[in-house]
Structure 1
Amino acid sequence: MSDYWWEPPFAGTEIEHLLGALDRQRATFRWKADGLDTAGLTATVGASSLTLGGLLKHLALVEDYHAAWKLHGESPGERWKPAQETEDWDYTSAADDAPEELYALWDSAVSRARERYNLALTDGGLDHPAHITGPDDQPVSLRRLLFDLLEEYARHTGHADLIRESVDGRTGEDPPAGWHPTR
């Protein structure tokens, strides 16, 4: 399975399936955005202003926000302060970032999030309580945060499909065998 490192297990635990599905979406998204220059990362489709660069930065923010604030009540970091002050900052400011910066930003945010989630899983499993609460102060679990993150990736990977196809024709559900992100 090393040629398909993103593939979830065919028979595993609930945690293995959930994290596997999330990592598959992460890998597919990263593959859709991979290896592009500034022109490719700033391309748009139709009436939408979404770009692959904007999606990379947005999903890096989402990774840090979920794993830091929503899970532990900690700041996601100073780098994200402008996102609290300016609507859509993560999407629009990406045009000012070099491709290498955007890829490194996303890669490092995913790495930090994986570490935080793994620590939480060892300290309570999927039922580990999150910092945030739902309506009427309902408790929120790590399970819910991970499913929300999976949903976020599914939505934006669909956007990335359309944008990437318009850039260079790349299509497909999953990365090809043996693919690894460009560093």
Structure 2
Amino acid sequence: MTEVEEQISPKPPLAADEAATLLGFLERQRATLAWKCGALDAAGLRAQLAPSSMTLGGLLKHMAHVEDDIFSSWLLGREAGPPWDTVDWDADPDWDWRSAAGESPEQLVAHWRSAVTRSRGVVADALADGGLEQLGRFTNSRGESPTLRYILLTLIEEYARHVGHADLIRESVDGLTGESPPD
């Protein structure tokens, strides 16, 4: 079994500046996903809830990929690093989801934890250098670049969507329910 929990039920600040509020909500989503995936063995992380092939292990690896991609690519304009740089994403767009079944719980948690750590560092640097209005280096087909604010909100949205999936899958594994660990 592996322990994923980073912090018990972090609460976003009730009265803080915008950056602290956004980061508070992001950390709450991260902690909830960690809790939903915590204390499970490989079978628990590979469990599926029909009709979907989604697993909690796949969620961890997917969110590691999203964390790395959204900050490296969107904000910094960098190419993907390992292990994402070895994947032919056009040929296998679900590689992160699919390949998770071949990894141990410890490997999956390590992917996710290291991606979160890298993201926290990139965001801290970006906030110090230009704040939430800072434009990312990614440019869409209309020539627009996202602000750091937009990037953070996109990541919060991605976590929130998948935490909902994690709720259902985890409940099917061992009955664990709830929004976050008890205080």
Task: Provide TM-score, normalisation by structure 1.
Answer: 0.91
Please give the alpha-carbon distance, in whole angstroms, between the structure 2 residues aligned to 1:80 and 1:139.
23
**Number of equivalent positions:** 175
Aligned equivalent of 2:23, options 19, 36, 58: 19
More helix by share: 1
Please give the alpha-carbon distance, in whole angstroms, between the structure 2 residues aligned to 1:83 and 1:13.
41
1:162 paired residue number: 168
CA displacement at 1:133 relative to structure 2: 2.4
Report runs of 4+ in structure 1 exceeding 6 Å deviation. Answer: none
Is this contact kept in 2: 1:45–1:166, CA < 8 A? yes
Code of the aligned partner of 1:38: A
CA displacement at 1:75 relative to structure 2: 2.1
More strand by share: 1
Please state if 1:61 is matched with 2:65: yes
Unaligned runs of 5+ in 1: 178-183
Aligned equivalent of 1:43, options 23, 42, 47: 47
Code of the aligned partner of 1:120: A
Helix, strand or coil for the counterpart of 1:92? helix
Please list the CA deviations of residues 34-53 of structure 1 after superposition, one character each: whole Å capped at 9, or x if unmatched.
Answer: 11111000000120000000
Please state if 1:137 is matched with 2:143: yes
Unaligned runs of 5+ in 2: 1-6
C-alpha RMSD of the superposition: 1.4
Give percent identity, aligned residues only: 51
Is this contact kept in 2: 1:31–1:175, CA < 8 A? yes
Aligned equivalent of 2:102, options 96, 108, 118: 96
Please list the CA deviations of residues 101-159 of structure 1 after superposition, one character each: whole Å capped at 9, or x if unmatched.
Answer: 00111011001001001100101100111011244112310000000000000000000
Task: Provide TM-score, normalisation by structure 2.
Answer: 0.91
